[in-house]
Amino acid sequence: MRTSIATVSLSGSLTEKLTAASRAGFDGVEIFENDLLASPLSPREVRARCADLGLTVDLYQPLRDIEAVPEGEFGRNLRRARHKFELMGELGADTVLVCSSVSPSAVDDDALAARQLSELASLAADFGIRVAYEALAWGRHVSTYDHAWRIVEAAGHPALGTCLDSFHILSRGSDPKGIEDIPGEKIFFLQLADAPLLAMDVLQWSRHYRCFPGQGGFDVAGLVRHVLRTGYDGPLSLEVFNDVFRQAEAGPTAVDARRSLLMLQEAVGVAELPAPVVPTGVAFAELVTPDAEPVSALLGALGFARTARHRSKPVDLWELGEARILVNTGPAARRDGTGLAAIGLESPDPRAAARRAEALLAPVLPRRRAPEDVPLDAVAAPDGTELFFCATGRAPELPDWLADFAAVPHEPAPSPARIDHLALVQPWHQYDEAALFHRAVLGLHAQDSVDVADPYGLLRSRAVTDAGGRVRIALGVGAAPADDTLHAQHIALAVDDVVAAARAFRAAGGAPLPIPGNYHDDLAARYEFPDGELETYRELGILYDRDAGGAFRHCYTRTVGRVFFELVERDPGYRGYGAQNAPVRLAAQHAGRPAR
Ligand code: MG
Ligand code: MG
């Protein structure tokens, strides 16, 4: 099916929007009137630009408050419409959108609405244009799709059809099943948007919080299935008003938009993508750092041993049980400082995983970073984190990244551990995109988003995980561009006994994050602990959480660069990440850092 996007969904000038839509692979655009009015390009030039970019102009929406109005007003509306139809000829657009009236002078008279829309359609037909009538969820007298359809049906004009908009339908809680009663050829256009489930005024909800399908709480795919059963064969078009997308760069937003449509098309069975290959574990986490010393000291205190060195690059492998950390002191580190730059994911089929990622528009990284490297499949996540699809220990059938490393003499690591979760900081405008990316590309599930109070802002965090909890990635973001999200990136190590691990860390000279006594006083009020246990937590800075599935005990190291470690002891049934304790952790981290 053809795909389209409304220019209002993207930021920038009309030219920038068109370029972004074309690069992301859309077939067409809906041109929003304000975008044309503000453009120095004439309608003919816009048409030519679209043609150059391989885009059709699928819809134009210059008309408001047209129908069910007194005759004098309707006469003026027709005059305005004639002007716009002439312009549409130059623009190369053959479908005009007419939203249900919100005018105070509109009357509640379906017969009048039908007669006037029919007259408008007659005029449009003279210009070779079709009129698509859409019920706004806040329309004055027409606010549901079935009502708009009844008026279109009554008008009975071949150049008059309806436009369905998933937001207007689903935000009102209308049952989309009734769409199947509309003949497909009378559905002139389909606009798609999702939205988070919010209890708020529907107009504000629509104008500010729409998002791409799969990023909110609506069953957009379910609605599209009903539409497809009518035989509709027009474009799937995204019309998304969103405060964040308005500010973010058009290029990545258009890619995010197209990825959401690909997922939707896959869900409704009109596009075939390579099947998801869900990762089965974390092979490694790669830290980049300009200065190996503090990172090595931290890893050493945690019990990691330096076990191997890359054969051709300044990269060390550190291991503790099943947890592997690469420490890269190469050029990237000198540019960006200490941070978490790459994740190796164990994959049942690395090549197939990369093919899926590529089909979903993830940038594919060169298979060999240097001529002598083992060829690995890798893609970049929206935040720039490199994701490697690994087959650790499965050579010679599959390339094994470990073959790039030569063992160095070391003491065996004392205690078992593995990576429990990784927490990544997302750019503030890519939160929804990040969750959709990890679901789509890696086949992970997104858990609910949680808000966490920070002394200087608000963090939002959402984990993506596989069904078995072997891969858990927490995607965090500050709520405003200026937020300090310095303390969101971390590597959590699962240990069998967090008390023993915390003691060993201290004994080895590690610097734990101190937790205020008030926190433990509150714990005493909330939970009953065996004698002495809470005192131990207080002494070691251990935090505690519990859900229906069990308990979670965890503590933190101080931050090095932009990264810190967490030690966690997780009861098998506990599903969370100690979000309840995050405000205390964030405050402690702010208190412990040098003054700005
Ligand atoms: Mg709409
Ligand atoms: Mg954590």
HEC letters along 204-227 = HHHHHHCECCCCCCCCHHHHHHHH
Helical packing angle, 43-52 and 71-91, nearest 10°? 40
* 421 CA to centre of ligand 2 in angstroms: 7
Residue range 61-67: mean pLDDT, rounded: 94
Task: Give the sign of the dihedral formed by CA 461, CA 466, CA 469, CA 470.
Answer: negative
Burial 60-76 (b: 16+ CB within 10 A, else e): bbbbbbbbbbeeeebee
Query: How sure is the predictor about 562, in pLDDT bands with cuts at 50, 70 and 90?
Result: confident
* 474 CA to centre of ligand 2 in angstroms: 8
427 alpha carbon, distance to own chain's centre: 11
Q: Alpha helix locations (H) across 383-452?
A: 431-442
Query: How sure is the predictor about 458, in pLDDT bands with cuts at 50, 70 and 90?
Result: confident
Query: How sure is the predictor about 457, in pLDDT bands with cuts at 50, 70 and 90?
Result: confident
Closest CA to 212 of 5, 34, 427: 5
The bound ligand whose nearest atom lies closest to the alpha carbon of 487 is 2
pLDDT tens-digit readout, 463-522: 999 999 999 999 988 655 544 546 668 999 999 999 999 999 999 999 999 999 999 999
Q: Which residues surround ligand 2, an ion (CB under 5 A)?
A: 492, 566, 577
* 188 CA to centre of ligand 2 in angstroms: 49
φ and ψ at 543, to 5 degrees? -105, 160
Q: Is the pLDDT of residue 392 over 80?
A: yes
Residue range 390-394: mean pLDDT, rounded: 96
Check for a shared fold between 3-268 and 418-591: no
DSSP 8-state assignment for residue 566: E
* 459 CA to centre of ligand 2 in angstroms: 13
* 475 CA to centre of ligand 1 in angstroms: 31
197 alpha carbon, distance to own chain's centre: 16
Distance CA 141, CA 187 (A): 21
396 alpha carbon, distance to own chain's centre: 36
DSSP 8-state assignment for residue 367: S
Query: How sure is the predictor about 370, in pLDDT bands with cuts at 50, 70 and 90?
Result: confident
CATH architecture label of 418-591 = Roll (3.10)
Distance CA 122, CA 115 (A): 11
Q: Is the pLDDT of residue 413 over 80?
A: no
Q: Is the pLDDT of residue 291 over 70?
A: yes
Strands 405-407 and 305-310: antiparallel
DSSP 8-state assignment for residue 314: S
Residue range 165-177: mean pLDDT, rounded: 97
* 578 CA to centre of ligand 2 in angstroms: 7
Q: Which residue ranges make up each domain of the chain?
A: 3-268, 281-407, 418-591
Q: Would you state the pLDDT for residue 482?
A: 47
Q: Would you state the pLDDT for residue 596?
A: 44
φ and ψ at 344, to 5 degrees? -95, 125
pLDDT tens-digit readout, 316-345: 999 999 999 999 998 876 677 899 999 999
- Residue 368, C-beta contacts closer than 8 angstroms, at least 6 positions apart: 374, 375, 376
Closest CA to 50 of 12, 3, 14: 14
* 293 CA to centre of ligand 2 in angstroms: 24
Domain topology for 281-407 = 2,3-Dihydroxybiphenyl 1,2-Dioxygenase; domain 1 (3.10.180)
Query: Distances in Å between the alpha carbon of 541 and those of 294, 303, 584, 587, 591?
Result: 21, 18, 11, 14, 15
Q: Alpha helix locations (H) across 288-446?
A: 292-301, 331-336, 350-359, 431-442
The bound ligand whose nearest atom lies closest to the alpha carbon of 190 is 1
* 321 CA to centre of ligand 2 in angstroms: 19
Q: Would you state the pLDDT for residue 486?
A: 60
* 223 CA to centre of ligand 1 in angstroms: 15
* 491 CA to centre of ligand 1 in angstroms: 43
* 425 CA to centre of ligand 2 in angstroms: 12
H-run or E-run covering 276: none
The bound ligand whose nearest atom lies closest to the alpha carbon of 490 is 2
- Residue 199, C-beta contacts closer than 8 angstroms, at least 6 positions apart: none
Distance CA 170, CA 193 (A): 10
Q: Is the pLDDT of residue 391 over 70?
A: yes
The bound ligand whose nearest atom lies closest to the alpha carbon of 567 is 2
Residue range 187-210: mean pLDDT, rounded: 94
* 354 CA to centre of ligand 1 in angstroms: 35
Query: Distances in Å between the alpha carbon of 7 and those of 19, 100, 146, 518?
Result: 11, 21, 27, 52
Structure tokens at 217: 């709480």
* 137 CA to centre of ligand 1 in angstroms: 10
pLDDT tens-digit readout, 99-115: 999 999 999 999 999 99
Q: How many CB atoms lie within 10 A of CB 508?
A: 13
Q: Are 415 and 495 in contact (CB under 8 A)?
A: yes
* 542 CA to centre of ligand 2 in angstroms: 13
- Residue 99, C-beta contacts closer than 8 angstroms, at least 6 positions apart: 61, 64, 134, 135, 136, 139
Query: How sure is the predictor about 415, in pLDDT bands with cuts at 50, 70 and 90?
Result: confident
* 165 CA to centre of ligand 1 in angstroms: 5
Structure tokens at 320: 């503790």
Q: How many CB atoms lie within 10 A of CB 494?
A: 23
Q: Are 579 and 461 in contact (CB under 8 A)?
A: yes
* 134 CA to centre of ligand 1 in angstroms: 7
Strands 236-238 and 130-134: unpaired
Closest CA to 369 of 401, 417, 321, 326: 401
φ and ψ at 66, to 5 degrees? -85, -45
* 197 CA to centre of ligand 2 in angstroms: 26
Q: How far apart are the first and last CA of the chain?
A: 53
* 179 CA to centre of ligand 1 in angstroms: 16
The bound ligand whose nearest atom lies closest to the alpha carbon of 568 is 2
Strand, helix or coil for residue 121:
helix
Query: Distances in Å between the alpha carbon of 64 and those of 68, 98, 99, 135, 187?
Result: 12, 6, 6, 12, 20
Distance CA 586, CA 564 (A): 12
* 239 CA to centre of ligand 1 in angstroms: 6
Q: Is the pLDDT of residue 546 over 90?
A: yes
Structure tokens at 299: 């890893």
Helical packing angle, 350-359 and 431-442, nearest 10°? 130
Q: How many CB atoms lie within 10 A of CB 358?
A: 15
Please tell me the number of Cα atoms within 13 Å of 181 on its side-chain side.
Answer: 11
Distance CA 81, CA 76 (A): 9
Angle (CA) 411-417-419 rounded to 5° is 120
Q: Please count the helices (runs of H) and the strands (runs of E) in the chain.
A: 19, 25
The bound ligand whose nearest atom lies closest to the alpha carbon of 463 is 2
* 415 CA to centre of ligand 2 in angstroms: 20
436 alpha carbon, distance to own chain's centre: 4
* 395 CA to centre of ligand 2 in angstroms: 33
% of the chain with per-residue pLDDT over 70: 97
The bound ligand whose nearest atom lies closest to the alpha carbon of 554 is 2
Q: Supply the pTM of this predicted model.
A: 0.93
Is the CATH number of domain 3-268 3.50.50.60?
no
Distance CA 415, CA 567 (A): 13
